[in-house]
Amino acid sequence: MLNEEKSGKSSAGLTQSLCKAFDILACFTAETPLLRITDITRRVGMTQSNVSRLVATMTAYEYLEKDEDSGCYQLGRKIITLSSVALNHSSLRCQALPELFSLEQKYGVGANLAVLDHGSMYYLAHVDSRNSPRMYTMVGNTNPLHCTAIGKVLLSAMTDEEIAAVIREKGMPSFTYNTITSPDVLMEQIERCRRLGYSVEYGEHALNSACIAAGIRNRNGKVIAGLSVSGKFLGESLQEHEERVASIVIESAALISNKLGCI
């Protein structure tokens, strides 16, 4: 149920009808892209009549669409329009995209851009490797910090106290037998990232995955994002060419940082 207690947000001073509409939008996820009125009602804890009125309004304004064959609702085209406005207005994303495309074109790797968001990494951009194109976008998705290369880069920019707070809040769930579940081992990798300027992930979040990442800094020198490459490097294992790939990723991240005013 999406409510104040679960979200951790106070409703004081907020417009309740808008809060309820946003709760309805939040019901639509990658796992539940199509929902009936009854499904939404169970998730938001409102009466079915209230949900029906709000959904009808949101459909009229094209924030939701109804599939007439199934009777299910899905996010509407207005959401796509607003998403494109937000993405195109992101200076970080606009400055990084040419470097992401360049990495894919030169080395055949997938390239990713992500930022910190509520204790997780949030994808702002992704360029698929021509050798393994995806049938979906990673933009807008989140992943844990403790078992991803960009996640470790973002953690390395925090104080040890901030890292401990993230671990307490998010935990260190295991995804594969390679996932780091020990805070001490994670701190060793974070210290390595601080020393070398890059981090790695080999099969920690998904089996057979390989990723190398470096930090992107703003004009004040603060790490605000991570750039990573994944997949095969010129058709060969990233792990076998770690130092060479890391130097390329560090250089690309530095170029983006320079564009953002970091000297």
Q: What is the pLDDT of residue 137?
A: 66
Taking CA atoms, 230 is separated from 109, 117, 128, in Å, by 6, 21, 9
Q: Is the pLDDT of residue 5 over 50?
A: no
| pLDDT of 6 above 60 | no
pLDDT value of residue 104: 94
Query: What does the pLDDT read at residue 134?
Result: 67
* One domain, residues 133 and 234: yes
pLDDT in tens, 194-233: 999 999 999 999 888 899 999 999 999 999 999 999 988 8
How many Å apart are CA 74 and CA 34, to the nearest integer?
A: 5
Which of 39, 57, 81 represents a domain boundary (last residue)?
81
Its domain, for residue 106, covers: 90-259
| Distant-in-sequence, close-in-space partners of 181: CB < 8 Å, separation ≥ 6 | 172, 173, 174
* β-strand pairing of 199-202 with 210-217: antiparallel
Separation in Å, CA 96 to CA 87, 90, 103, 114, 183: 12, 10, 11, 10, 31
- pLDDT, one tens digit per residue, over 30-46 is 889 999 999 999 999 89
CATH code (residue 17): 1.10.10.10
**59 and 176, same structural domain?**
no
In the predicted model, is pLDDT for residue 3 greater than 60?
no
What pLDDT, in 10s, does the model give residues 74-90? Answer: 999 999 999 999 988 89
